[in-house]
Chain A
Amino acid sequence: MSETRVHFYQVGSFAVGNRLLSADERTVQSDRRRTNSIDSGHRACQGCGEALGARYALDAAMRATANQLVAVNATGCLEVFSTPFPETSWQIPWLHSLFGNAPAVATGVAAALRVKGRDQVRVVGQAGDGGTVDIGFGTLSGMFERNDDVLFICYDNEGYMNTGVQRSAATPPAARTATTDAVGPDPGNPFGQGKDLPRIAMAHGIPYVATATVADLHDLERKVERAMSLHGARYLHVFVPCPLGWGAASHETIHLARLAKETGIFPVYEAEYGEVTGVSSIRRPVPVTEYLRLQRRYAHLFGHPGRPDVIERLQAMADANIARLGLRGTEEDA
């Protein structure tokens, strides 16, 4: 599938001029026939990136499957804020079992659908970063290596937000969490730790791996559609800022997601069968400080004397991402 290039950027803004697109190029969300897989009225915080990401991803998956979709959910914010009965937000068949087993449960659902001859019904598994990179990692890797017919979506907000902002293996270096406090000689999360799950997923050689952010919802929807056009194990890692956990203003969610991508901190790309097939180039390079400054979890890096050395290391990590994936490639071409 060729990428839809959107050229209708407004000056000084990244907002997509959705209304300027032809009807079939517009987002699923702009369509009145969207399914509202996860309905309004749930209990997510103001500015929740995960709620936004899940809504876009699932509605896109619904459109891609003609509404033949089952969702499996790990324990976590998404599960908790969406389900206190009788106010379930789920307008699609939805199953929550445990924190660490969503990939395996999704495998079971897919197996049952296959054995029942209902192959047209597709399965999406979803979890936060804790349920994906930490406690669910074993079942996720098993699902990947068996190439089970599941799209697994990780909504990555870089920590255990449901339990009060603790550190996960997706928490970036230097970030303050409740278990990596901004105290001592090396405040925040240590350097040299953590997992790059999209690359681990690619190492399984599965049909499709992609990253996305809630800043580019066209891109997110397109990747979901691409994923649903394939069979076997597919993985989508969505960057979803958490205003509460990151100490950011709730109106900054989209902005932060965009800065994560534009700084190179969170590279946006896709891969098939272990090989990168496309990257979202940085359009307006920005230093990491622009991203970091907006979040209280990095407040200890700023002020006087601050930690310019740490900021430098974070910048180096972003630069390494940019170099590795050629995120400024199109700029150079230009």
Chain B
Amino acid sequence: MFQVRFHGRGGQGVVTAAELLAVAAFREGRHAQAFPSFGSERTGAPVVSYCRIDDREIRTREPISAPDAVVIQDVTLIHQVDLFGGLAAAGYVLINTSRTFAELGLGELAARCQPDHLSTCPATELALEHVGRPVPNAALLGGLAALTDQVPLHAIGDALRDRFGPIVGERNLAAAAAAFEHVRAQREVVAGATAD
């Protein structure tokens, strides 16, 4: 089972991100379960959502306390909310930023994680460019696809078109594809550095 936890703020499409990922996995014939953190949060409040992906029926209903991947939609949550609690040793981290982990004060986290499991992506900028709205969730899903290989980009595209219709879905897919390329390029650099 692969478990993803999304952190963001109300209004940033955090719940939708988990749902889209679940739909993408479902489109690939896998079992998936997405659910929000069930709060009565208002716009701007910290929000968490969860997505589980597996090849067999998912029965558990507990929140994800030991995620395989953490997606941070909003860097202002860093050092404010326990974002990385329970993150597996080989876990993945994807952050919506153009800064580095060290610049975000996450050097310690970066040191204990596998370098090729860490990524950053300017998802908000990509969303503004391709969608015209600062909602980073679709772009981050593209980045997550490149980082974790859990779902292919075309499945994310299917989920986006399902959800937003052909026109807006296509724009979101463009943002996701750009993020996918961005993260893939990052990983290649890291892989090259490791190879050296």
Q: In the complex, is A directly touching B at CB under 8 Å?
A: no
Q: Residues on A close to B: CB < 8 A? A: none
Interface residues of B (CB under 8 A from A): none
